[in-house]
A and B are shown apart, each in its own frame.
Chain A
Amino acid sequence: NAGVTQTPKFQVLKTGQSMTLQCAQDMNHEYMSWYRQDPGMGLRLIHYSVGAGITDQGEVPNGYNVSRSTTEDFPLRLLSAAPSQTSVYFCASRPGYNLANTEAFFGQGTRLTVV
C-alpha cells in the first residue's frame, strides 16, 4: 500500500513549456485534489475531483488543467509554464466526498521551478 504517489519529485521548466504532474493513489479514494504551496504560505487548492469523470476548480485554477479518467489517477497539467507557477505542489486524497469523518492523505510533493 503506497498511499499517494507523486511524480516527479523535482522539475525545472522553461517559461512556456508544458508538463504534467502525476498523482496516483492505491486506496480507492473518491476524492482527490491538488494544492500549491508558496514559500511561507499555507496550501491553496487548485483543482479537485469527487470521483472519476468529475472535476472542479479550487481557489487558484488559472493555468492548470486536470482530468480524472480513473479512480486512481489525477494528473495536473501546466499548459504554458510561467515563473509565477514556481511552487511546491501537493496531491491529496480521501475516502468519501460526503463523509466528514475522514482524513486526507497527502503525497510528498513536487518541487517545480520555472525559469
Chain B
Amino acid sequence: DAKTTQPPSMDCAEGRAANLPCNHSTISGNEYVYWYRQIHSQGPQYIIHGLKNNETNEMASLIITEDRKSSTLILPHATLRDTAVYYCIVRAVGGTASKLTFGTGTRLQVTL
C-alpha cells in the first residue's frame, strides 16, 4: 500500500471549515483513499473514501487532486465533537495488500 504523509496537528475554530491535507504521491491506480478518525482512544470511525472523483457524505467532503497524489478532507462546519485524530489511508483491492495501514494521523483540535 502507498504511504501517506499528514501534518501532525492542526487547529480549527468551531463553526469554520477544517481542511485536512494528505499526501500520497506513490498511490497506484487501483488504490482508494480512505479517511478514518479516532475520538479520544475510541475505536476508529470511518468517514469517507474515494478513488478519483470528489466525494461528499453527511460527515465530510473528500477532494482528490487530478493526479491523485494528494487529497483534502473537509469538515464544513467543525464542532468541538470533531476534535480527534484523523487518519488518511490508501488501500488496494484484494490480495494481501487489502489491509488498512494506519500512520500517526493528524490531531485536529477544534476550539471555541
Interface residues of A (CB under 8 A from B): 4, 31, 33, 35, 37, 40-45, 48, 56, 58-59, 88, 90, 92, 97-101, 103-109
A90/B98 contact (C-beta < 8 A), A42-B104, A100-B91 known:
no
Shortest CB–CB separation between residue A27 and chain B, in angstroms?
13
A97 CB contact (under 8 Å) in B34, B43, B94, B103: B94
Contact B42 A104 (CB under 8 A): no
- Which residue of B36, B51, B87, B99 contacts A48 across the interface (Cβ within 8 Å)? B99
Chain B, interface SS category: loop
Number of residues of chain B lying within 8 A (CB) of chain A: 27
Residue B21, interface by CB 8 Å: no
Interface centre among A92, A106, A108 (most CB of B within 10 A): A106
Beyond contacts A103-B46, A109-B42: 10 other A-B pairs, Cβ-Cβ < 8 A, are: A31-B98, A33-B99, A43-B102, A45-B99, A45-B100, A48-B99, A99-B93, A100-B30, A104-B100, A106-B43
